Amino acid sequence: MKHIMDLSKESWEAYFLGINEKKFKATQVFEWLYDKREYNPLKWSNFKNETRELINKSFKRNFIKIVKKEEDNLTKKYLFELEDNNHVEAVLMEHDYGLSVCVSSEVGCNMACSFCESGRLKKVRNLETYEMVEQILLIEKDIDKRISSVVIMGIGEPLDNYDNVIEFIKIINDDKGIKIGARHITLSTCGIIPKIKELMNLPLQINLAISLHASNNELRSKIMPINKVYSLDKLMLTLDEYIAHTNRRVTIEYVMLNNVNDSLDNAEELVKLLKGKNVYVNLIPYNETSHIIYKKSPKEKIMKFYDTLKKGGINVTVRKEFGSKISAACGQLRSKEVK
By annotation, the residues acting in catalysis are: 89, 330
DSSP notation for 113-182: -TT-HHHHS---EEPPHHHHHHHHHHHHHHHTS---EEEE-SSS-GGGGHHHHHHHHHHHHSTTTT---G
Q: Which of 136, 133, 120 is nearest to 171 (CA)?
A: 133
Q: What does residue 152 show for φ and ψ, rounded to 5 degrees?
A: -95, 85
Distance CA 267, CA 94 (A): 30
Return the DSSP state at 233.
H
Task: Say if residue 73 is exposed, middle or buried (CB neighbours under 10 Å; 0-12, 13-18, 19+).
Answer: exposed
Distance CA 117, CA 320 (A): 20
Sequence-ordered list of residues with C-beta below 8 angstroms from that of 257, at least 6 positions apart, any chain: 115, 213, 223, 286, 294, 295, 296, 297
CB count within 10 Å of CB 68 equals 16
Q: Which of 136, 65, 75 is nearest to 104 (CA)?
A: 136
Q: Which of 65, 129, 135 is nearest to 100 (CA)?
A: 135
Distance CA 209, CA 221 (A): 19
Provide the edge-to-edge strand list for the sheet that holds 250-256.
65-72, 75-81, 87-95, 98-103, 149-152, 185-189, 207-211, 250-256, 279-285, 315-318
Q: CB of 19 within 8 A of CB of 59? A: no
Distance CA 297, CA 11 (A): 46
